[in-house]
Copies of this chain bind each other. A is one copy, B any other.
Amino acid sequence: MNSKANPACSSPVLDYLEHLHREFAGVKEGKVATYIPELAKANPDWFGICLVTTNGTAYEVGDSRQPFTIQSISKPFVYGMALEDHGRQHVISKVGMEPTGDAFNSISLEPGTGRPRNPMINAGAIASTSLIEGKNGPARLRRLLEMFGRYAGRDLRLDQPIYTSENETGHRNRAIGHMLRNFDILTSDPIPSVELYFQQCSVSVTAYDLGVMAATLANRGVNPITGKQAIRGEYVESVLSVMSSCGMYDYAGEWLYTIGMPAKSGVAGGLIAVLPGQLGIAVFSPPLDARGNSVRGIRVCDAISRHCDLHLLNRPSTGQSAIRLKFTGAELTSNRIRTAEESRVLHEEGGRIQVYQLQGNLHFASAESVVHDVIANAERIGHLILDFKKVLTLNESACRLFYEVLSKLSGRGCVLLFTHTEHLPLLRRYMKVKLGERYATLFRAVQENDLALEWSENRVIEAALPPRQNDGPAGPGEYELFENFTPTEIKVIESLLQRRTYPQTTAIINAGDEPREIFFLASGGVSVFVPLESGGRKRLATFTRGMVFGEMAAIDRAPRSAMIEADSEVVCDVMSLEEFDRLGITQPGIKIKLLENLCLCLSRRLRTVNRKLAVFD
């Protein structure tokens, strides 16, 4: 997924990052941190940028693979783990979430409670670290490293010299630890937690790692490259909230105003910014400004945000973009081939079948736009088909809206069908819980849209037409190709036909077969299938009593292009191609009539398919 990999044509995003790198490499402001001796060894010219999208595309330039220590950028990740270990309520009782307007190393405890104001200052970070579970120091460190590893998509290790240096000089943080113990924010010996805090700050990362870690936060906690969950999605908003309001220390308000992305910096020169749902950015450049933020890091984030319009609060309306396509059963019919009479019914009554193909992320606002449209048309809808094939995600509030629609419309006698919901287990679970006993009857999950449409059409047709009197096998006079034939002509045809019976699921025709016959369906149904690339197969058409199939090959004499299978027990009358050819010589008038009927039949199907095609335009 590394964008450096495509030599044929470079990405404009990569070009752009290279341009930024050239532009800001010349910036010589800021000072490398010296508060611990090891950090002071950093080369001030190191400069790497990495941008990773939630689709898992990584763009990186400069020293993006130069290791350095994560430092304070560890704080939001460890805070997230504390939330996972203890839940929001307990964590909030130990650490607040109000910005302080103070510097990174301020102690800022709430008067009275002693609760650190937020988890981004050292006091709050140490309190968060103290909440990490584990039976002893090494076990806790291992859990922390595993967590960082899930975010980065590779095993991360400590930079031992930095850790030693931190540990030797961290008197202020030890003081903070004892102060937290004094207020019972820490309830046992603070020193192990302070040491774990030094260890978390000493994790060695690269700008590439941080880019992936930021993108994981942007992707609701799922590493977009490995696909692995690094933190439960429900806690991501809390991590990003404290980054937004407190991540850049006393610069938070201006940062949100001008750059508009949750962010976090570290004294080794790292900086991450997160645009939820879209991308993560990491910059590494050791020289820091007076507030302890990487100078080039801030310049790069500011430039990217402005040039690429990434401000979190600058969002265009999602509009009705959740509705990919909307049509009625009068506009687009299923792949079941209908008789002329059935077609007329669907043309007249199919408008009561309403199909919505949904797409994208269904959350409250996008689901609302669908539900609003459904409710506005409720009086007209008899069958509602909601197709989730192109839906990427679905949250509980969207489920609730669809449940309410199901509940309301069912109450009005409308039937709802949900198709392609396999990848959205939440929908079924939600419906099961809410519907209880009614689940089995009310929640109709159908695998394919076409089947849901056919089923709805059948109900509409059943309601409109009298039940078929004759359920026995059709005779030649009832076949569509001989509709206008005289009894004498029918007799001729009858003599050329041979009756055959096929059990259900027989492959009557296989793709690639040499054509030898034309089939007339006396009873039962057959379907035409083509294999799908994704495995499985797709139904192209279903034929029923009275219809002809396998007739194409009689014309072009090419090998069969698709497989035709018996949907039920099937009775067919079969005409061999020899008889078909001979008919032109012995009975040219009948042959002409037959061919004209075939043309009519094909042109009718062509019109139907053309009408379907227009729906997609």
A positions within 8 Å CB-CB of B? 3, 6, 8-13, 15, 53-55, 57, 96-101, 118, 218-220, 224, 233, 236-238, 240-242, 244-246, 250, 252-254, 256-257, 260, 262, 275-279, 307-321, 324, 359-361, 363-365, 368-369, 371-372, 375-376, 378-379, 392-393, 395-397, 400-401, 404-405, 408-409, 412, 538, 540, 552, 555-556, 561, 584, 588-589, 591-592, 595-596, 598-600, 602-607, 609-610, 612-614, 616-617
Tell whether, in the assembled complex, residue B313 and residue A237 are in contact, meaning their CB atoms are under 8 Å apart: yes
Chain B: which residue is nearest A359 at the CB level?
A: B321
Chain B: which residue is nearest A401 at the CB level?
A: B12
A498 CB to nearest B CB, Å: 23
Q: Which 7 A-B pairs have the closest CB atoms?
A: A12-B404, A277-B315, A588-B588, A278-B365, A54-B317, A595-B595, A98-B253
Tell whether, in the assembled complex, residue B555 and residue A99 are in contact, meaning their CB atoms are under 8 Å apart: no
Docked CA distance A151–B53 (Å)? 35
Please give, as numbers and ranges, the residues of chain B lying within 8 Å of A307 by CB-CB distance: 397, 400
A384 CB to nearest B CB, Å: 12
4 extra interchain contacts, Cβ-Cβ under 8 A, other than A99-B252, A319-B361?
A: A245-B245, A245-B256, A278-B318, A602-B602
Chain B: which residue is nearest A363 at the CB level?
A: B309
Chain B: which residue is nearest A224 at the CB level?
A: B317
Please give, as numbers and ranges, the residues of chain B lying within 8 Å of A219 by CB-CB distance: 317
Tell whether, in the assembled complex, residue A603 and residue B600 are in contact, meaning their CB atoms are under 8 Å apart: no
Please give, as numbers and ranges, the residues of chain B lying within 8 Å of A253 by CB-CB distance: 96-99, 118, 245-246
Among candidates B375, B412, B589, B604, residue contacting A11 with C-beta atoms closer than 8 Å: B375
Please give, as numbers and ranges, the residues of chain B lying within 8 Å of A318 by CB-CB distance: 54, 277-278, 360-361
Chain B: which residue is nearest A366 at the CB level?
A: B278
Docked CA distance A602–B548 (Å)? 16
- A–B Cβ pairs within 8 angstroms, 23 of them: A3-B372, A6-B378, A8-B378, A8-B379, A10-B375, A53-B365, A57-B372, A97-B256, A238-B257, A245-B253, A262-B313, A278-B315, A309-B363, A309-B364, A310-B364, A319-B392, A556-B604, A592-B592, A598-B599, A599-B602, A605-B606, A609-B609, A613-B613
Please give, as numbers and ranges, the residues of chain B lying within 8 Å of A412 by CB-CB distance: 9
Which of A244, A253, A276, A405 gathers the greatest number of chain B CB atoms within 10 Å? A253
Docked CA distance A599–B606 (Å)? 12
Tell whether, in the assembled complex, residue A316 and residue B599 are in contact, meaning their CB atoms are under 8 Å apart: no
Chain B: which residue is nearest A552 at the CB level?
A: B603
Docked CA distance A42–B365 (Å)? 33
Tell whether, in the assembled complex, residue B308 and residue A364 are in contact, meaning their CB atoms are under 8 Å apart: yes
Please give, as numbers and ranges, the residues of chain B lying within 8 Å of A596 by CB-CB distance: 555, 595
Tell whether, in the assembled complex, residue A218 and residue B599 are in contact, meaning their CB atoms are under 8 Å apart: no
Please give, as numbers and ranges, the residues of chain B lying within 8 Å of A278 by CB-CB distance: 315, 317-318, 364-365
A385 CB to nearest B CB, Å: 15
A247 CB to nearest B CB, Å: 12
Docked CA distance A265–B314 (Å)? 21
A118 CB to nearest B CB, Å: 7
Docked CA distance A595–B551 (Å)? 14
Docked CA distance A396–B312 (Å)? 16
A320 CB to nearest B CB, Å: 6
Please give, as numbers and ranges, the residues of chain B lying within 8 Å of A308 by CB-CB distance: 363-364, 397
A235 CB to nearest B CB, Å: 10
Tell whether, in the assembled complex, residue A592 and residue B589 are in contact, meaning their CB atoms are under 8 Å apart: no
Tell whether, in the assembled complex, residue A372 and residue B55 are in contact, meaning their CB atoms are under 8 Å apart: yes
Docked CA distance A103–B383 (Å)? 56
A29 CB to nearest B CB, Å: 21
Chain B: which residue is nearest A12 at the CB level?
A: B404
Chain B: which residue is nearest A365 at the CB level?
A: B278
Tell whether, in the assembled complex, residue A311 and residue B595 are in contact, meaning their CB atoms are under 8 Å apart: no
Please give, as numbers and ranges, the residues of chain B lying within 8 Å of A368 by CB-CB distance: 13, 53, 57, 279
Docked CA distance A15–B401 (Å)? 11
Tell whether, in the assembled complex, residue B317 and residue A220 are in contact, meaning their CB atoms are under 8 Å apart: yes
Tell whether, in the assembled complex, residue A254 and residue B315 are in contact, meaning their CB atoms are under 8 Å apart: no
Please give, as numbers and ranges, the residues of chain B lying within 8 Å of A376 by CB-CB distance: 6
Given A307-B397, A317-B54, A321-B359, decide whether A11 and B245 contact each other with a Cβ distance below 8 A. Answer: no
Tell whether, in the assembled complex, residue B316 and residue A363 are in contact, meaning their CB atoms are under 8 Å apart: yes
Tell whether, in the assembled complex, residue A606 and residue B612 are in contact, meaning their CB atoms are under 8 Å apart: no
Given A12-B404, A599-B555, A599-B599, decide whether A397 and B321 contact each other with a Cβ distance below 8 A. Answer: no
Tell whether, in the assembled complex, residue A371 and residue B602 are in contact, meaning their CB atoms are under 8 Å apart: no
Tell whether, in the assembled complex, residue A240 and residue B592 are in contact, meaning their CB atoms are under 8 Å apart: no
Tell whether, in the assembled complex, residue A13 and residue B401 are in contact, meaning their CB atoms are under 8 Å apart: yes
Please give, as numbers and ranges, the residues of chain B lying within 8 Å of A13 by CB-CB distance: 368, 371-372, 401
Tell whether, in the assembled complex, residue A317 and residue B602 are in contact, meaning their CB atoms are under 8 Å apart: no
Docked CA distance A382–B238 (Å)? 47
Chain B: which residue is nearest A616 at the CB level?
A: B616
Among candidates B57, B375, B595, residue contacting A599 with C-beta atoms closer than 8 Å: B595
Given A245-B257, A252-B245, A262-B313, decide whether A9 and B408 contact each other with a Cβ distance below 8 A. Answer: yes
Please give, as numbers and ranges, the residues of chain B lying within 8 Å of A313 by CB-CB distance: 236-237, 240-241, 244, 262, 276, 312
Tell whether, in the assembled complex, residue A316 and residue B372 are in contact, meaning their CB atoms are under 8 Å apart: no
Docked CA distance A161–B607 (Å)? 71
Docked CA distance A250–B11 (Å)? 45
